[in-house]
Structure 1
């Protein structure tokens, strides 16, 4: 005999039978894949930062020309015997840097600079390996979210190009009477490193939120701050390239007074090289003067962006530009200290690290202006 059911039981049962709402196609593949890819990119980000710093130390210690050949695969192994070390040292003794600057260097001194360059190249190989394994793994497992395959492939392509540019840079110092690599090639190499770092950071920011959330937040884009963030990004990139020119010709080790240069505003003999255009790349006085002037202009532009951000109603956006101004101020201070101490490697590498931190902070402020997070009315 059947039992009578309460009307409340029937309603309850009917509700339980309803299917759980599912996300739309815009969210497809976002779960573990997005988190996993984001963690993988974070690892790549850390390695690229390490690459930039080790590359800077390699330049500051004059170690970049210690390996005179480009062997992407077999070069992964360092010299394993006394004979192999002698062979590498003999190759180094044939280049202008040894003959004109380091004549009489001992094998022990050669090993010290060799390990810096070898370590830099090993980091490059490690970055390439981690990218390749991660990309292939996510692709084979079909865990790459829609629209992300080409973005992730771009990072690998730029990394491969960076390796080729690295050798193009090193090869410029192996012939003629040049004691260092060509400064404009060094600027190209460092500039591409920051481009790669920028793409990785931007993708990390994007993957930290579901696609539907990003689309919703984009509707609240603060266009003026988005534009100023874009301007800051390009301005900072220009300054990074000029900084590489300064490093490439050791311009930071001359004219160590501040705020003047050689006792005057405009340094002496700013256009002594012929033809005229060479002064903007090879004259240490002119290159350092340009680096200083662009730094002042970048700082003023950053202050302007900060003042504009005060009008934002979103506290996360305001804080993003607060961080930019704080790091920008610190970077200017580090630049002054670096020059006034003759650019010792211990301070110069902090200045380079400051450029990395500022670069990422500008990217983050721009992201927050373009995709402002939701906040309560009280907030």
Structure 2
């Protein structure tokens, strides 16, 4: 058995490319949700589903299946074929990109493994990523299935699970790419590593809260800032629900929590920048500027999307900002872990 500590440089390049593809996948998934396209394909066929409808009869069959959904019956009744094809191609493209990601990971993995380009430390991590990728596909269908009967949209809980797993894959792949490029970290963690991990976790929690906002369209109400129609805590916060349920299902509560978590993350980033300022380690210094700049831009995009009642362009830009900020904090955490 090989106990090499470093992998071939091409391995890290491949993993950085996979990180970029996962980021693109997250944005395509966001566009699929924002265009209400996710329920347009009502079957999960991992292999044969790669072939889209090829004839008019195939398209009629696909539309007929969609007509059985609650979304069609209550929201899109009478939809034309061209309108159906628009949402179908978004969902088909999202699934097709998922298939491509699976192949783009599996084929090079086998190739590098057979050639002996992988270190012993890296092999189990790559197998873990491959397993998580397959699990993510199953979670995606589990999410879609929740919206096919008796609901206008998919479950916001399942949507948050699906998005959360996507960001876990993004972070884990990026971290593994950095390790493949620069080797194993030191035995002793650098100063403030736990703080950076907490900051990364806070942003992850904020992303899950954002998924709840998207899942119940909570961004289309209270489209004012800084107050919520002039109130700190808006009327209808509990919406007649028990508190433990309202924090996940009340439109007012979900939006309020997403707003305040944004402020908490912003303050935490400010504290982080001050800590870096006082740190002698040069490797961390760029993050003193990068992280505050990114979080301010992200907050600005969130406010702009809210005031404009969540249009597609601004909403996608806000989601892209979350991806960039998540990767940047991941890079800072990785650097803090190694800089001793």
Range into which the TM-score falls when normalised by the shorter chain: over 0.9
Is the CA contact (8 Å cut-off) linking 2:274 and 2:288 kept in structure 1? no
Query: How many angstroms does 1:171 deviate by?
Result: 0.3
1:161 to 2:135 alignment: yes
| 1:112-148 deviation line (CA, Å, top 9, x unaligned) | 0000000000000001011110111112222211211
Higher relative contact order (CA 8 A, sep 6+): 2
Q: 1:92 to 1:84 in 2, by over 3 A?
A: same
What's 2:223 paired with? 256
Structure 2 residue aligned with 1:361: 328
Shift of 1:339: 0.5
- For these two proteins, the number of residue pairs brought into alignment is 339
1:278 match = 245
Shift of 1:165: 0.3
Find the counterpart in structure 1 of residue 14 from structure 2.
40
- Tell me the SS of whatever aligns to 1:208: helix
In the TM superposition, what is the alpha-carbon distance from 1:168 to its structure 2 partner?
A: 0.4
* Post-superposition offset of 1:277: 2.5
Distance 2:216 2:200 in 1: 25
User: Superposition pairs for residues 227-242 of structure 1, below 5 Å?
Assistant: 227-242=194-209
Higher gyration radius (CA): 1
Give the stretch that moved more between structures: 272-281 or 321-330. Answer: 272-281
1:195-206 correspondence to structure 2 within 5 Å: 195-206=168-179
In the aligned structure 1, how far is the partner of 2:105 from the partner of 2:213? 31
CA deviation vs aligned residue, 1:13-49 (integer Å, no higher than 9, x gap): xxxxxxxxxxxx97x363xx43121111122112111
- Whole-angstrom distance in 1 between the partners of 2:280 and 2:140: 45
2:98 paired residue among 107, 116, 124: 124
**Aligned pairs for 1:285-296 within 5 A:** 285-296=252-263
Give yes or no for contact 1:78–1:118 (8 Å, CA) kept in 2. Answer: yes
The whole-number CA distance in structure 1 between the counterparts of 2:262 and 2:16 is 29
- Superposed displacement of residue 278, structure 1: 2.4
Instruction: Indicate the residue corresponding to 1:301 in structure 2.
Output: 268
Q: Structure 2: any 5+ residue segments left out of the alignment?
A: none
Aligned partners of 2:247, 2:232: CA distance in 1, in Å? 17
**Residue 140 in 1 paired to residue 114 in 2?**
yes
Q: What TM-score, normalized by structure 1, do the two folds share?
A: 0.87
Distance in 2 of aligned mates of 1:282 and 1:66 = 24
Whether 2:162 is the aligned partner of 1:189: answer: yes
Q: Tell whether the 8 Å contact from 1:262 to 1:268 is kept in structure 2 after alignment.
A: no
CA distance in 2, matches of 1:82, 1:361: 47
Residue 88 of structure 1 is matched in structure 2 by: 62
Distance in 1 separating the partners of 2:195 and 2:293? 17
